[in-house]
Amino acid sequence: MLRVGGHSITKKLTRMNMLVSGAALLLACLAFVAYDVLAFRQAVVHNLSIQAQIAGSNSVSALLFNDPREVEKTLSALKAAPNIVSALIYTPEGQPFAAYWRDRGGQAPPLPAIPTGQTEAHWFKDGRVVLVHSIVFQGKPTGIVYMQRDLKDINGRLAQYAGIAAIVLLMCLFAALQFSSIFRKSVADPIVNLADLARTVSRDKDYSVRAALTGGHDELATLIETFNEMLAQIQERDGALQKAHDEMEQRVQERTAELAATNKELEAFSYSVSHDLRAPLRGIDGFSLALLEDYADKLDADGKDYLHRVRAATQRMGILIDDLLSLSRVTRTEMRLEKADLGLIARSVAEELQKTQPERRAEFRIEEDLGAFVDSHLIRITLENLLGNAWKFTSKRESACIEFGRTQRDGGFTYYVRDDGAGFDPTYADRLFGAFQRLHDKNDFPGTGVGLATVQRIIHRHGGRIWAESAVERGATFYFTLMETRHRGA
Amino acid sequence: MILLVEDNADDEKLTLRALKKNNILNEVVVARDGAEALDYLFGTGAYAGRNLSVMPEVVLLDLKLPKVDGLEVLRRVRADGRTKLLPVVILTSSNEENDRINGYGLGANSYVRKPVDFNQFSDAARQLGLYWLVLNEPPPARRA
C-alpha cells in the first residue's frame, strides 16, 4: 500500500517532468513549422510572381502580333521549374491564347478575376497555388498570365520537420526520464521515507524514531525538521502523561487499599456495636424487669418509677443502636442498581404506614409510573423515612394529605414528598440531615434523628441531592434528585 | 433437654429466667464457649464418657463466642454424622446480613435475634421453647 503510494509520487514527478518538457518542445516545433510554412509560401508566391512577370514580358510582342506559337515556346522554358503544373496566357478578353502543361494537355481552366485596382492576385487551393498576373504594355492591358504551382516540396519539408521534431522529442523524453531519478532522490524519496515513518509512528505509537535529514535548506528539510520536532513534543507529552497516569494509578491503588482497610475496620466496629453494645442493654433491661416483677413488694412508687425510666432509656438506646447500624449499613452495602418504579415502592410503604394506625384519616397521593435506575432496597429505606416522617409530623392533624411525585426541573427529574403537617423552622433546614439532629421535642414527635441522615447518604450514593422547604405549621416538602442513568438501559 | 451455648452470664441468667417464667421446665445444659459446646455434643474433654445417645432437643447457639465461634460450632455439628440433623437455633444480638446468610448457609434451623426489651426477649424464649420442645418433631434418634 505504502510502496504503491511511494512509487506513485515518483511516477507523478517523472510524468510531470516528461509532460512539461514534451509540451514545451512540441509548442516550439509548432511555432517553427508555422513560421517556416508561412515564409515558404510567401517565397513561393514571390517566385511565381517573378516567373509570371517574366513570362508576361516575353509574351507581349507575340500577343501584339498574335503569335501563340512563339508564346508557347517561351512558356516551355518553364520545364526547368518542375513545380509549375501549368502556365497559360489569356487575351485581355479572357480567351486562352497559349498554354503550357507540365504533365499533359488539358482544358484551359476558367480565369479567376483579378480584384479591381490590382495587377496580380493569388489563391491557395487543394494543395496548389494559382497566380494570375495581368500583362500591361504601354499602359494598356495586353493579356493575362495564369500559373498554377503544386506545393509538394512544402509537404516534403513538413514531413522532414515532423521527423526531426519526433526524434528530438523522444530524446528529450528519454533525458527527462533519466533526470527523474535525480528528482526522486532529492524530492520523492524523502517524502516517501517521511510517509513511511509517519505510518510506523501511527501504527506502533513509537515516538522515539526520527526522520533522516536531507541536508538541504528547502521546504522539504523544514517539513522533516518540523515533523521531528513534533515527534519530540509528542514523546515528551506522552512521557509526562504516562508518568501522571502511573502516579494516579498508584494513588488510586493506595486509596483503594486504605478505603478497603477502613471499610473492614468499620465492618468490625459495626459488628462489635451490633453484638457487644446490645448485650449489656439487654442485661440492664432484663434485670430491671426482674426487679420490678420479683421484688415489687419491696419497692415503693418512686423506686418502680426509676426502674421504668431505666427500662425506657435502655430501650431507647437499643433503638438508637439499631438506627446507627442501619445508617452505617446504608454506606457499606454494595449498590445494586436496577430499574424500579418509585411509585410502586411508595405505595407499598404508604400501605404499611396506614396499617400501623388504621384509625387515622390520611390521604396518600402517589404518582404512578415513576421508573428510575436505583438500588430499590436503599430507595425503599429512603421512602420509608420520608413518608414515615410525613406520617409522623401530620399525626396531630385531624386529616392529612401526603404526596409523592416527580417534576421536571433543570433538564432532570426532581422527586418530592410533601405533607401538610407540623413543618419546621426553615432557619434550621441545613441541620436536618445531620445524624442525631432533631428539630422537634421527642415528646411531641418521637425519633432518634438518624432517619434523614440515612436518607441523605442513600441519595448521595445515587449521585443525587436532597433538600427541604417548610414553614412552621405549614407542612414540609422534601426534594431529592437521582443520578441520570437513563442511558444505562433505564 | 436444651443446650444453651452462651458466654454472657447475664444473657444466660435472663434466658433461664425467661424459660422458667414460661413454664419450660426441661433441663438446660449451658456451654460457655464454642469448645465446651462441641465437647458436650461429641463427648470429649470435660464431657468424655458422656452417654451420647442423649442429645438435646434443640441447641440455642450464640454466634460471638470465645475459643470457637458459633458459626464454626454449627459447621462442625453439621459435618458430623451424629449431630447432622440436630435442630440448631441461632440466638444472637447480631442482625448482620452476613451472619444470617452464613448461619442459614451452614444449616441453621432458625435465626432469632435477641431483642433488647426483656418482655420481647421473654416472649421469644417462650415461643422458642414451645415450638422446639413441644410442637416440633425431632429427627429420629441416631442408631448406635
pLDDT tens profile A320-376: 888 877 777 777 777 888 888 999 999 999 999 888 888 888 888 998 888 888 888
CB contact under 8 A, B116 and A280: no
The answer to which of A163-177, A213-227, A322-336, A405-419 has the lowest mean pLDDT is A322-336
Nearest to A286 among B63, B95, B118 (CB): B118
Question: What sign does the dihedral A336-A337-A341-A346 (CA atoms) show?
Answer: positive
**Which residues, in sequence order, are bridge partners of residue A404?**
A366, A417
Give the model's pLDDT for residue A142.
86
* Nearest-by-CA chain B residue for A288: B118
Q: Do B117 and A285 touch (CB under 8 A)?
A: yes
**Alpha helical stretches, state H, A65-151:** 68-76
Q: Do B8 and A274 touch (CB under 8 A)?
A: no
Decide: residue A371, CB within 10 A, 0-12 exposed, 13-18 middle, 19+ buried. middle
Q: Cβ separation of A275 and B92 shorter than 8 Å?
A: yes
- CA–CA separation, A212 and A104 (whole Å): 81
Burial profile A153-176: b = 16 or more Cβ within 10 angstroms, e = fewer: ebeeeeeebeeebeeeeeebbeeb
- Number of Cβ within 10 Å of residue A58's Cβ equals 17
pLDDT digits (tens, 9 = 90+) for A270-290: 777 777 788 888 889 889 998
> Over 80: is that where the pLDDT of A440 sits?
no
CB-nearest to B118 from A270, A282, A325 is: A282
Instruction: Closest CB to A271: pick one of B10, B17, B94.
Output: B94
With 80 as the cut, is the pLDDT of residue A449 above it? no
All cell numbers assigned to A365: 397521593
Single-letter amino acid code for the residue at A216? G
Range in A10-14, A67-71, A368-372 the model is least confident about:
A10-14
What CATH number is given for B2-116 in this structure? 3.40.50.2300
A476 has a pLDDT exceeding 80: yes
Return all residues near A365 (Cβ < 8 A) that are at least 6 apart.
A401, A402, A403, A404, A405
Report the C-alpha gap between B40 and B35 in whole angstroms: 9
Kindly indicate the confidence band of residue B141, based on its pLDDT and cuts at 50, 70 and 90. low
ipTM score: 0.74
Q: Is the pLDDT of residue A48 over 70?
A: yes
Nearest chain A alpha carbon to B122: A286
The CA distance from A316 to A326, in Å, is 15
Residue A435 has pLDDT above 90, yes or no: no
Beta-bridged to residue A132, according to DSSP, are: A121, A146
Q: State how far the Cα of A244 lies from the Cα of A224, in Å rounded to an integer.
A: 30
Structural domain spans, chain B: 2-116
Per-range mean pLDDT, top range of A135-139, A344-348, B136-140:
A344-348
Q: Is the pLDDT of residue A25 over 60?
A: yes
pLDDT of A13: 77
Q: Do B94 and A275 touch (CB under 8 A)?
A: yes
Average pLDDT of chain B to the nearest whole number: 87
What's the gap in Å between the CA of B10 and the closest CA on chain A? Answer: 6
Cβ pair A282:B17 closer than 8 A: no
Cell of A142: 495586353
Cβ contact, residue pair B96, A271, below 8 Å: yes
**Furthest C-alpha separation in chain A:** 192
Tell whether A299 lies on the interface with B, counting CB pairs under 8 A.
Answer: no
| Number of inter-chain CB pairs under 8 A, A vs B | 65
Nearest to A423 by CA among A467, A364, A474: A474
Tell me whether residues B118 and A289 touch, CB distance under 8 A: yes
A280 touches chain B (CB under 8 A): yes
Give the CA distances from residue A444 to residues A312, A395, A439, B93, in Å, rounded to whole numbers and listed in that order: 16, 10, 11, 31
